[in-house]
């Protein structure tokens, strides 16, 4: 019996699991096991909605795996022994594998700035988002700081401002919000934030978070009754501790097929992978994470058939950002994620963004019942992701 072990049931881990279960349907010589700390699937694309106080669908992973033959184990991965090909879970259980898929993802980097770990909220889990929602519900006419001008920070600031118009939401960022977008899309994004009453301050550096605010590098203290930290991420140190070859961020170095360069029976997908394309390294997003997982699944099936896996090719398509429930901006991009000529805004962009945010589960259902679904979606110049 070939044991395939998937670590992590985020967007990439679930995609790999569903793709493998669909492709290996009917094979009795292969067994799949998925490990995740919680039974609830975390919709990271929607955690800013949870943080603002909205209630989202509770997707239970074991229920979604029904009929796939995949064993689900709830627990924390505490160690990988890459040479012995075993994984420790909760320091109490040992799982053997022939092939490993590492999809442990990334979390907010709360260690680089003093006070973040102690006083700031993050969006690493549903529980984290709900804790912020509870705090916001207790506030009235109070300042709230969102740190980070990336897409997560922008979406969070907009969502909080729309759901809590009595709060003073301040977005602090080193760069202008939407800096990765084209000039027109960026201007439209800033207009949307202004309409919602979000105070944007770019070009600032946070050096400390305190119980009642954040300190900037020029000595100013910006008051805050709640601080949401969305700037910077870090990956699990487990891969490095296991002796897998990693980059300076702890991500697993991969060959063109997404296999570990030091341990070829280990595949890395999503945020866990230091994967490169002709234009440079992939950055961690759902947009690239799910295709890496689907490619890894296809490669493993090829190896089971005695064939060599093919190189992974991928290109970005868009930079979608919601501005509350009634506005959004979609910047269409070149394959290297550079902004293209076109963008969407307003109600059409809202529909587009909602389609993107809702797409993982329909994709997983198709992977479950249609073997090989999506196997060529990123190969034609890497132009498609969903």
Whether this prediction's pTM lies above 0.85 is answered by yes
Q: Mean pLDDT over residues 16-22, rounded?
A: 96
Question: Exposed e or buried b for every residue in 31-43, given b needs 16+ CB within 10 A?
Answer: bbbbbbeeebbbb
Nearest to 42 by CA among 109, 136, 130: 130
Average of pLDDT values for 222-242?
A: 96
Has residue 307 got a pLDDT over 90? Answer: yes
Neighbours of 313 (CB within 10 A): 17
- Between CA 307 and CA 302 the distance in angstroms is 5
* pLDDT tops 70 at residue 386: no
Asked if residue 375 has pLDDT above 80, the reply is: no
Taking the C-alpha atoms of residue 140 and residue 142, their distance in angstroms, rounded to an integer, is: 5
Give the residue with greater pLDDT, 91 vs 53: 53
Q: Please say if the pLDDT value at position 208 is more than 90.
A: yes
* pLDDT tens-digit readout, 332-358: 999 999 999 999 999 999 999 999 999
Strand-pair partners of 88:
79, 94
Q: What is the pLDDT of residue 258?
A: 98
- For residues 13 and 270, the answer to whether their CB atoms sit within 8 Å is yes
What's residue 180's pLDDT?
A: 94
- Residues 106-123: pLDDT tens digits? 999 999 999 999 999 999
Confidence of residue 380 (pLDDT cuts 50, 70, 90): very low
- Quote the CA–CA distance of 98 and 293 in Å, as a whole number: 17
Query: According to the model, what pLDDT value does residue 383 have?
Result: 40
Q: What is the pLDDT confidence band of residue 361, given thresholds at 50, 70 and 90?
A: confident
Neighbouring residues of 242: CB distance < 8 A, sequence distance ≥ 6: 79, 80, 81, 82
Question: What pLDDT score does 372 carry?
Answer: 66
Which domains, from first to last, does the chain contain? 2-37+75-105+236-317 (3.50.50.60), 116-229 (3.50.50.60)
């Amino acid at each position: 019996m070939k044991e395939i072990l998937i670590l992590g049931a985020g967007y990439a881990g679930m995609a790999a699991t569903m793709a493998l279960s669909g492709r290996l349907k009917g094979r009795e010589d292969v067994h799949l096991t998925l490990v995740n700390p919680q039974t609830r699937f975390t919709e990271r694309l929607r955690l800013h909605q949870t943080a603002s106080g909205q209630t989202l669908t509770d997707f239970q992973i074991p229920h979604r795996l029904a009929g796939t033959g995949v064993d689900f184990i709830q627990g924390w991965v505490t160690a990988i022994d890459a040479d012995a090909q075993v994984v420790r879970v909760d320091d109490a259980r040992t799982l053997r594998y022939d092939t490993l898929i590492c999809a442990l993802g990334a979390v907010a980097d709360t260690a680089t700035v003093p006070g973040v770990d102690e006083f700031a909220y993050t969006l690493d889990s549903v529980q984290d988002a709900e804790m912020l929602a509870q705090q916001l519900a207790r506030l009235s006419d109070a300042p709230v700081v969102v740190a980070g001008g990336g897409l997560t920070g922008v979406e969070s600031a907009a969502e909080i401002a729309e759901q809590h118009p009595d709060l003073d939401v301040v977005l602090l960022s080193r760069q202008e919000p939407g800096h990765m977008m084209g000039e027109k899309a960026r201007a439209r994004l800033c207009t949307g934030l202004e309409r919602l009453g979000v105070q944007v301050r770019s070009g600032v550096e946070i050096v400390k978070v305190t119980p009642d605010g954040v300190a900037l590098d020029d000595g100013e203290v910006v008051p805050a009754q709640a601080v949401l930290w969305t700037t910077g991420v870090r990956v699990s140190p487990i891969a490095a501790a296991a002796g897998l070859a990693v980059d300076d961020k702890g991500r697993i170095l991969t060959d063109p097929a997404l296999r570990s360069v030091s341990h070829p029976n280990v595949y890395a997908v999503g945020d866990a992978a230091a994967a490169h394309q002709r234009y440079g390294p992939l950055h961690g997003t759902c947009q690239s994470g799910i295709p890496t997982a689907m490619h890894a699944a296809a490669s493993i099936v090829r190896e089971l058939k005695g064939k060599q896996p093919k190189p992974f090719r991928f290109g970005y398509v868009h930079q979608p950002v919601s501005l509350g429930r009634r506005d959004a901006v979609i910047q269409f991009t070149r394959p290297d994620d550079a902004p293209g000529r076109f963008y969407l805004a307003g109600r059409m962009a809202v529909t587009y963004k909602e389609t993107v945010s809702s797409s993982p589960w329909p994709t997983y259902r198709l992977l479950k019942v249609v073997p090989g679904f999506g196997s060529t979606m990123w190969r034609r110049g890497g132009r498609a992701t969903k």
